[in-house]
Amino acid sequence: MRWPLPRPSARQWAIWVPYLWLALFLLVPFLLVLKISLSDLQFGIPPYTPIATLEDDTLQLALHLRGYVLLFTDSLYAAVYLNSVKMALVTTVCCVLIGYPLAWQIARSRPEIRNLLLLGVILPFWTSLLLRVYAWVGILRNDGLLNNLLMGLGLIDSPLEIYRTDLAVYVGLVYAYLPFFILPLYANLVKLDQRLIEAAHDLGARPWATFRQVVLPLSMPGAVAGAMLVFIPSVGEYVIPEMLGGANTLMMGRVMWNEFFNNADWPMAAAVTCVMVLLLLVPLTLFQYSSARQLERSR
């Protein structure tokens, strides 16, 4: 007796299409990078050895851990990872402190003003990131717009050394990734039931107590999502540290670029990439765990 095969429903197709997309454009490239990280350096095209060879009907598998051993034994790479995480954390904290009041003000504005404010948040995305960062070069240089303005107002006597420092990188990172924090937080705050805030005021709660006990817990999913959208790309940022940072501003994006293109050491660069991906899986896992717990509590 032949049993009929079940046909996938439209809902199952809708679920599987994003998974196939992620597998094709995320998992497969990562597996290729992982394969390169386990190969050895050679002079040629490609500049790495194959990890599997077939000779005399014998399949030989050679996994080289040179890149990973160097990562955990060379203090330079450890300093680069720590500095990247530190700069990403500081950028995330600055975006939270600046973006939360902005998102709250946008969510509480009248609808016609709200659309204009949202347009102001989204408008920088209409211009290339490279052009926007290059504009900050003209602002932060010693003879740039900021120093000329401060000296013209008589606030300083000599130019401030901001360009090619970590401070300039922080300014560029916060400027570039602040909308990524505001938009998901705004989407959460705009759906907040205003009757809860009014009830807290009627019960005698002060504004700070209302924010801490009502607004902040309800807006936490949007704030955490925005913080992840800021932290994760900031760790591996390349353009902003390269254009605004100095020679001592080492981040993982610049290290990977140097290993890939300057040193032509693809296995080492691939190893740096794989460890960075594993490092970023930690905050993603924590985010998923916190989201699952909040969903259970809401039930």
pLDDT tens profile 36-59: 999 998 888 888 988 888 877 788
Question: Of 268 and 13, which is predicted with more confidence?
Answer: 268
pLDDT-based confidence at residue 18 (cuts at 50, 70, 90): confident
Of residues 123 and 281, which shows the higher confidence score?
123
Residues 6+ apart with CB under 8 A from 42: 48, 49
Whether 147 has a pLDDT exceeding 70, the answer reads yes
Residue 182 and residue 104 in contact, taking contact as beta carbons nearer than 8 Å = no
> Rounded CA gap, 236 and 261, in Å?
16
Q: Model-level pTM?
A: 0.87
Q: What integer pLDDT is reported at residue 3 of this predicted model?
A: 58
How far apart are the C-alpha atoms of 240 and 220, rounded to whole Å? 29
pLDDT above 90: residue 91: yes
Instruction: Work out the average pLDDT over 255-264.
Output: 86
Look up residue 74 and give its amino acid. Answer: D
What pLDDT, on the 0 to 100 scale, is given for residue 61?
86
Are the beta carbons of 253 and 237 closer than 8 angstroms?
yes
pLDDT of residue 58: 81
